Amino acid sequence: MSPHFVRAYKNRIINIHPSLLPSFRGAKAIEEAWTQGVTVTGVTVHLVDEKVDHGPIIFQKAVTIRPHETKESLEGRIHQVEHVLYPKAVDLLIHGRLKVVGRKVNVI
């Protein structure tokens, strides 16, 4: 999205990201977490700003990487968490229950 578009819809665009931001920004977050051998990754739902995977965080939830887990099974478990958190964030946004103060999001 262009910076102009993001500014026009400030604090009204939600992104879901498969890591605990600020760790593992970008399109290959699950692969990077897997490759680096971390034991915990997760999901972040955040408001979009002009930087990549950077805006104020609405929700985060950790996902533990199990011993002997495959990258594919980890991806599936991360997507399960995304499917729970994202609708909750959208509901809060459309009902005007998110208040942004600086880089923090409060649920009102």
The count of other CB atoms within 10 Å of the CB of residue 79 is 13
Establish whether 17 is a catalytic residue.
yes
Element holding 80 (H helix, E strand):
helix 71-94
Catalytic member of 17, 54, 68, 83: 17
Give the C-alpha separation, 20 to 27, whole Å: 13
Give the C-alpha separation, 22 to 44, whole Å: 9
Catalytic residues: 17
